Structure 1
Amino acid sequence: MSVFTPLSRPQLETFLEAYDLGRLRDFQGIAAGTENSNFFVSAEKGEFVLTLVERGPTQDLPFFVELLEVLHQAQLPVPFAIPARDGIALRQLADKPALLQPRLAGKHIAEPNAQHCSEVGAFLARLHLATRDRILHRRTDRGMTWMLKEGERLVQGMAPEPATLLGNALKEITQHREAILALPTANLHGDLFRDNAMFEGTHLTGVIDFYNASAGPMLYDVAITLNDWCSGPDGQLQPALANALLAGYARLRRFTPAEVQLWPVMLRIACVRFWLSRLIAAQSFAGRDVLIHDPAEFEQRLAQRQHVTLALPFAL
C-alpha cells in the first residue's frame, strides 16, 4: 500500500476536531498513490479525501490551494481544500502538511472510449482557459532542465538501444527548448492520467491529484494527457481516441501554428518525463511496499512516437 505515513484513529479524530464534520465513522489508506499519502475519510457530514504531502517544498502548497480554488470557482469538477472553523485550509498532521478535500463521485476508467476522451480534452481546455489570463506561477520541478540533468545521469547505465533512444530525445529537447518555452502558456495539471479522472458513465465527474501542477506550455499538458488516454497496450496511439480528445479540446481553444509544428516533439518530451520519473521511483523505492509504475511503458511509447502521423485539428 502506498501510504508513506500511517495514521491512527485517535490521530485523525484529533485532527478532525478543527472541522465541523461530526464524528469520524471510518477511514482507510488509498493504495494508488505514488508520491503522497492519501486516505478516504468518512464522517457524519460527508465523505472526504485527506492528503498528507510527502514530496516537494512546502512553500508550494499555497499555490495548489489557490489553483484548486480558482478552478472550483470556474465550476470545474475538482477537489478543493476545505477550511477548518478558523478559516485555515492548509494544516499539519503527523508532522506533514495536510489537506482535507471533498471526495468526488465516480470511478476511474481503465479502458476509455471516444466520449471519455472528448470529455477529458474539454476539461483540459477549460482548465487552461480559466488560468491563462491570470497564471499562478510555479515552476515544475520536473521540467526540461530536470529531464536533461537526470537523463544524462541515467543514460550512462542503460543498454545500447534504450541509451540511444533517450540520448536522441535529450538532444531534441535541447534543440527545441527555446521554441517550446515560447508557446502559449497557462496553468497545467501535469499528470492527467486515467487514474486521476473519474466518470459516471461517460460524464466526467472529477479530476484529482494536482500536485504536479505548474505554469507552462498548454501543449505539454495535452501531450501528457493524450499519451496516457489514447495509447494502446503496445504503446501505439489509437486514432479514434486521440482525435476525440483533441477535438474536445480544440472546440474550446484552438491550437496555434507553432503548436502544430512542435506537436510531435512535445509528444516525445512527455514520454521522456514519465520514463525518467518512473526509473527514479523504481530505484528509490526498490524492495518497499510502494506502488511502482513500469518505466518500460514510457520507453515503449517514446519508441512509438518517433514517427507521429496524428495531426492537431483546427489550427489558426
Structure 2
Amino acid sequence: MSVFTKVSHPELLDFLQQYPVGEVIGFQGIGEGVENTNYFVDTDDGRWVLTLFERLNYDDLPFFLGLMEHLAAHGFPSAAPLHTNDGKNLVTLNGKPAAMVRRLVGQSVLFPNLEQARATGGVLGQLHRVAATFKGGADNARGTAWRLQTAQELMPHLAEDARALIASELDAQKALALDALPQGIVHADLFRDNVLFVDDRLTGVIDFYYACRDSLLYDLAITVNDWCFDTHGQLNRARSDAMIAAYIAERQPTAAEAQAWRLVLRAAALRFYLSRLQDWVHPRAGGLVHVKDPDAYRRILEYHRSDVLPLG
C-alpha cells in the first residue's frame, strides 16, 4: 500500500463526484506495502479506502472486486467495493484503474498474541469455505512458473550463497505438485497488515488483490510463515499451534496435504523471498515506497529446510 501515483486535492474532489459519499473532510496516502497506491478518504458519509491499481489491469480486476462483494454478502469480514452513481465498482483515476471500499474498523497488529493468531487461522478457514461458492477464478500470477522465471532473472544479481540456496530449493520443489492438492479461492497474501483487530476481536480482512485459485494449504503456509516467525527466522510454536488448530477446526486437511506440508511451507517462503529480492534488485519509483527485507524470508526458508513444523 505504497503511494506510486499522486492524487491532488482537486483531482480527488473531481473523482469523488461520481460516488454517493458526501463532502470530503480529509485524505492521506498510506505508506505501507509495495503493490498499489492507497489513500484513506474521509467524507461526511463515512471513511473509505481509495486504491489505484499499479500492476493489475482492467480485465483482471472484476474477479477481485466480485470476490470481495461475494464474501461480504456471505458474512465474511471483507469490505465490499463502493458503486458509483451509475453502478460501476471500477473506474479510472489519473490513468489508473481505481476502486473505493468502505474502510473497516480496527488496526493491524505487528506482534500478534495467541488469540489474534487463533482468530486469523479461523478466518482463513472460513474464507476457504465461503469462497468455495464463488464462481469466478484466476490463476496464481506468482505460482510455480513465476518462481522459476524470477529466480532465473535474479541469479546474476545475487551473491553466490543466495544463488546456491535458490537453486537447491527449486530442485527440491520439483517433488511438489501443488495442483494435485485441494484447490480453491485463496487470499495468497494474508499477512499481519491485511488483518484488522479491535483488541483481540478480528474485524476485517483486506487487500484481496493477490487472490486466485490455488492450493488451499499453500494459503495456510503463507499465513503461518508471516504470523508465526520473527525477523530472525525463529518460530513462535505456540502461535503456529493456535493458528493451525483454528484453521483445522474450519477445514480438515487431507492426508496428502499433511504429507506435502513441509514442502508447501518452503514453496511459500521461497515465493516471498524471490518477490522481495526482485523489489530489492529492481526498486520501483514512488512517493512513499516501502521495500521489505528479503533476508527475513530467506531465514524462514532455511528454517523449513532444516526443521519440521507439524500440521496439527
Same-fold call, TM cutoff 0.5: yes
Preserved CA contact (<8 Å) 2:125 2:247 = yes
Residues 209-249 of structure 1, C-alpha deviations (whole Å, 9 max, x = no match):
11111100000000000000000232122110001000110
Counterpart-to-counterpart distance in 2, 1:97 and 1:33: 18
1:287 CA displacement: 7.7
> Is 2:245 aligned against 1:230?
no
Length-normalised TM-score, structure 1: 0.95
Preserved CA contact (<8 Å) 1:25 1:44 = yes
Partner of 2:90: 90
Counterpart-to-counterpart distance in 2, 1:150 and 1:286: 16
Alignment partner for residue 245 of structure 1, among 232, 243, 246?
A: 243
Partner of 1:296: 295
SS in 2 for 1:282: helix
Preserved CA contact (<8 Å) 1:196 1:209 = yes
Counterpart-to-counterpart distance in 2, 1:55 and 1:118: 33
Preserved CA contact (<8 Å) 2:57 2:97 = no
Structure 2: runs of 5 or more not aligned: none
Residues 35-93 of structure 1, C-alpha deviations (whole Å, 9 max, x = no match):
11000000010000000001123211000111001110121111221001111111111
Counterpart-to-counterpart distance in 1, 2:111 and 2:131: 30
Partner of 2:59: 59
Check 1:64–1:287 CA distance in 2 against 1; reply closer, same or farther (3 A cut).
closer
SS in 2 for 1:69: helix
Preserved CA contact (<8 Å) 2:67 2:134 = no
Preserved CA contact (<8 Å) 2:34 2:291 = yes
Counterpart-to-counterpart distance in 1, 2:208 and 2:294: 21
> Is 2:76 aligned against 1:37?
no
Partner of 1:11: 11
Structure 1: runs of 5 or more not aligned: none
Counterpart-to-counterpart distance in 1, 2:135 and 2:159: 41
1:111 CA displacement: 0.5
Preserved CA contact (<8 Å) 1:47 1:102 = yes
AA of the residue aligned to 1:75: G
Aligned residues: 311
Partner of 2:125: 125
AA of the residue aligned to 2:99: L
What value does the CA root-mean-square deviation take over the aligned residues? 1.5
Length-normalised TM-score, structure 2: 0.96
Partner of 1:203: 201
Residues 4-29 of structure 1, C-alpha deviations (whole Å, 9 max, x = no match):
11111111111111122111111010
- For 1:157-236, list aligned pairs within 5 A: 157-176=157-176, 179-236=177-234
**Percent identity over the alignment?**
39
Counterpart-to-counterpart distance in 2, 1:180 and 1:287: 34
Preserved CA contact (<8 Å) 1:132 1:185 = no
Counterpart-to-counterpart distance in 2, 1:159 and 1:15: 47
Q: Greater relative contact order (Cα 8 A, min sep 6): structure 1 or 2?
A: 2
AA of the residue aligned to 2:298: E
1:134 CA displacement: 4.2
